[in-house]
Amino acid sequence: MSGHGNDSAASRQVLAQRILLLHPPYGDFTYPYHSLSYVAAAIDATGAEAEILDLNALWFRSVFDAGAIAALGEDIDTELAALDASPELDLSTQGRIADLLRAKAICGFLQPAEVVATLRGEAFYQPEAYAEARAQVRAFEALLGIVYGPYDFFNAFAAPAYEPTAARMLAKVYASTRLRRDLVALLRRHAVHGDYLFVGVSMPFSTHLVPGFCLLDAVAEVFPGTPRIAGGTAITDIVKYRCSDAALAPLRACCDGLFVGEAELGLAALLAWVRDGGEAPTQVVVPGEPARIDPSAQRYVALRPAESRDGRFEAFDWARYPPRYDWIDWRLYLAPERRVNYAPVRGCFWNQCTFCDYGLNSDRPTAPSRHMDTATALATVARLRAEGVTHFYLAADALPPNFLQRFAEGLIAQQIDISWSCELYLTHGFDDRFVQLMQRSGLRQASFGLESGSARVLEAMGKGINRVERVLRPALAAFARSDIALQPLFFFGFPGETDEDRQATVDLLIDHAGLFTPISKGGTFALLAGSAIARDPATFGLTNLRRAGEDELGGILDYERIDGEPMPDCVDFGRFNALLPHCDAFERPWAGGIDTLHTHLWVDRYGRAVFERLRPVLAGHGERRLPVAVTSRFDVEELIQNVLIDRTVRANPQGLLPADMAPLLAELGQPIEHGRPRRYELAVRPFGGMFAA
């Protein structure tokens, strides 16, 4: 194995066949993510032993703690005192002081024990108590962004874009010294074995990349010489979209291999490689070395025996090696009920959307659809229900209606009492009979890809002819006659879309607003490198496809229109989003966010109209001001004014500044000097702004 000598490889042969699997910060802390449950099953099938730690949940609970927050407050006071001793302050240092004052106010505001009690108990369902708990956690995330930067914890769930280069990613990794220190301490406390064959870190979303590689860097200190493997969808994406093999080379500093694709197919080869050395298997990319993965020849794991007869699929014994959930410590998660993500289906049965490019696909938008035998899926759900899991999310790109029907009928026949949710692709089969069947089986909410309310645009998207009238309106009417809540996913800016098309989307959403729980803002079209549009841009009126700026890892392309018209952006769509009854407070992982456990629980308790009730309560808790006092030799009021002007300028590159700020710009470059100490009483916005008078 490259990077590990023969002696090291030989010594690992005598070690126990134990693998440490880690889920990194920063992610949903309301329930355990499921990816490592499937990796553990694949490891079990090799005869090795998997040990799983959810360092996302462990880390969050260790820092969202009164003692840890008090220690942060002391560090903030120490840094403020050091900066106040400076002879003068440049604009950058003034900005740091402003942020530290905000962090100091937040430290005095937080009551983590009360928040945990609320989110894990009956008070969860009380709007005022829930809104206060949410405000506390959001303020804490703003605090983390200040003292744990450069990672942006406050906006982590917005799925930020990939860092454009591996070097930029690692610069953030190495600057995350406080996070790394925490992770080292947690590994030493919870990873009790030292003889791991390798340590694997799963990174499902782009938001995991910086903290995930920070975790791999921490692993090197705790378990020196142990091979480190990065995997997950976000890793597959940066391998798939890399501009060259050399673009991944810097990542070698933090890991020995990038595992690409489905674990069930490659774990045995990976174990042999880390144990015996030699050439890396095709599913492992060694950063900086030529990759041998070939997406066009990708094979997939079968979920039921019949599928293994197809040359694309390889068998796996799911009945004998089901996904493992025995590693979960339910006390860590901030929700009053237990939820498991379960994936009895993989891939997309429709697989024709022209804008889609998901995972390690080949010539289609995503992986081919496969599903487990219904009996196998029901047995797993029944076992987990007996262990106290009451809520399930069927995690799949799109669930085939025939599987849905058999699954729902099986739940009813076997009297498996669960509440479940999923993502749907609506077809003409979603009539009253089918929708009522799913409701009786326990389906409470489902997201679905609406994408657009224009039949013309939907046809260009590959979603079928006359879809609005033939499929969407009848299906939505059937759901309206049920109690199931739907969450529409949609975006603006598809190539060729007009304002009339966008208005059609708004009209369709408003016509069915009582069914949706809730309506979010529409996103903005992104041209993905492997999509059908990217493979044939002229058909969609596009030209000059290219990577953006210095991007070497991402899959989103810049482009131009053949007709020369300017590209639409989110500003153009603002007036359409303004027509929708959306609420910015509804985001992951909170109540109202798409596919969240909290949303599921609130719909369970109060029905799909609940978020109209919750909306004004959440909005009220977002406008609070926190007091903070500081004694300084500098004019803190001038400092705050300077910082506000500077940040307003940077947030408005077109120079759209209030008239009274313009004369002050020339003074910003001058440092401020100290004078006599003075006490200042301030009011701070914990998030959504900075200071108030």
CB atoms within 10 A of CB 505: 27
In sequence order, which residues have a C-beta less than 8 Å from that of residue 334 and are 6 or more positions away?
29, 30, 115, 116, 119, 120, 137
Residue 540, in any domain of the structure: no
The 10s digit of each residue's pLDDT in 267-315 is 999 999 999 989 999 999 999 999 888 766 778 888 887 776 667 788 8
Which residue among 595, 620, 645 closes a domain? 620
The alpha carbon of residue 381 and the mean position of all alpha carbons in its chain are separated, in whole angstroms, by: 25
Residues 139, 83, single domain; the answer is yes
pLDDT score for 124: 98
pLDDT score for 235: 95
Residue 433 has pLDDT above 90, yes or no: yes
Residue 325, in any domain of the structure: no
Residues 70, 13, single domain; the answer is no
Residues 490, 598, single domain; the answer is yes
% of the chain exceeding 90 in pLDDT? 71
Q: At what angle do helices 112-120 and 66-84 cross, to 10 degrees?
A: 140
Residues 641, 662, single domain; the answer is yes
pLDDT score for 8: 43
Contact between 543 and 560 (Cβ < 8 Å): yes
CATH number at residue 376: 3.80.30.20
Q: pTM to 2 decimals? A: 0.93
In sequence order, which residues have a C-beta less than 8 Å from that of residue 674 and are 6 or more positions away?
84, 86, 87, 88, 633, 634
CB atoms within 10 A of CB 245: 15
The H or E element spanning position 375 is helix 374-386
Residue 503, in any domain of the structure: yes
Q: What per-residue string of b and e applies to 69-102 under the rule 16 or more CB within 10 Å gives b? A: beebbeebeebbeebbeeeebebebbbbbbbbbb
Tokens of 287: 């950063």
Residues 498, 447, single domain; the answer is yes
Q: What is the DSSP letter of 593?
A: S
- Which residue do the tokens 């308790």 mark? 605
The 10s digit of each residue's pLDDT in 94-112 is 999 999 999 999 999 999 9
Longest dimension (CA), the chain: 82
Q: Identify the domain containing residue 122 by its residue range.
A: 64-150+624-692
Q: Rounded to whole angstroms, what are the CA distances from 126 to 122, 129, 133, 235, 580?
A: 8, 5, 11, 40, 26
Residue 148 has pLDDT above 90, yes or no: yes
Residue 168, in any domain of the structure: yes
Which residue among 574, 597, 620 closes a domain? 620
Residues 276, 215, single domain; the answer is yes
pLDDT score for 5: 40
Residues 33, 174, single domain; the answer is yes
Residue 584 has pLDDT above 70, yes or no: yes
pLDDT score for 10: 40
Residue 15 has pLDDT above 50, yes or no: no
The H or E element spanning position 556 is strand 556-561
The 10s digit of each residue's pLDDT in 529-579 is 999 999 999 999 999 999 988 999 999 999 999 998 888 777 788 899 999
The 10s digit of each residue's pLDDT in 498-521 is 999 999 999 999 999 999 988 888
Residue 2 has pLDDT above 80, yes or no: no
The 10s digit of each residue's pLDDT in 321-360 is 989 999 999 999 999 999 999 999 999 999 999 999 988 7
The 10s digit of each residue's pLDDT in 666-692 is 666 678 887 889 999 998 888 755 554
Print the SS3 string covering 602-648.
HHHHHCCCHHHHHHHHHHHHCCCCEEEEEEECCCHHHHHHHHHHHHH
Tokens of 102: 């905000």
The alpha carbon of residue 307 and the mean position of all alpha carbons in its chain are separated, in whole angstroms, by: 31
Tokens of 302: 């079968």
Residues 577, 672, single domain; the answer is no
Residue 258, in any domain of the structure: yes
Which residue among 243, 277, 298 closes a domain? 298
Classify residue 607 as left (phi > 0), alpha (psi -120 to 50) or beta.
Answer: left
Instruction: State which amino acid sits at residue 320.
Output: R
Three-state DSSP class for residue 10: helix
Residue 51, in any domain of the structure: yes
CATH number at residue 227: 3.40.50.2300
When mean pLDDT is compared across 219-223, 313-317, 374-378, the lowest value belongs to 313-317
- Which residue do the tokens 């490198």 mark? 529
Residues 228, 353, single domain; the answer is no
Give the pairing type, strands 678-684 and 626-632.
Answer: antiparallel
Residue 434, in any domain of the structure: yes
Residues 142, 287, single domain; the answer is no
Q: Rounded to whole angstroms, what are the CA distances from 373 to 465, 655, 682?
A: 32, 60, 62
CB atoms within 10 A of CB 250: 19
For residue 263, the number of C-alpha atoms closer than 13 Å in the C-beta half-sphere is: 25
The 10s digit of each residue's pLDDT in 229-264 is 999 999 999 999 999 999 999 999 999 999 998 999
Q: What is the DSSP string of 71-109?
A: HHHHHHHHHHHHHHTSSEE-HHHHHHHHHHHHHHHHHHH
Q: For residue 12, name the pLDDT band (cuts at 50, 70, 90).
A: very low
% of the chain exceeding 70 in pLDDT? 93
The 10s digit of each residue's pLDDT in 457-504 is 999 999 999 999 999 999 999 999 999 999 999 999 999 999 999 999
Classify residue 59 as left (phi > 0), alpha (psi -120 to 50) or beta.
Answer: alpha
pLDDT score for 397: 84
**Residues in the chain, total:** 693
Tokens of 20: 């440490």
Report how far residue 343's alpha carbon sits from residue 39's, in angstroms, rounded to the nearest whole number.
13
Closest by CA to 436, choosing from 487, 485, 486, 482, is 482
Residue 653 has pLDDT above 60, yes or no: no
Residues 182, 239, single domain; the answer is yes
The 10s digit of each residue's pLDDT in 28-70 is 999 999 999 999 999 999 999 999 999 999 999 999 999 999 9
Total tally of structural domains belonging to the chain: 3
Residues 292, 432, single domain; the answer is no
pLDDT averaged over every residue in the chain: 90
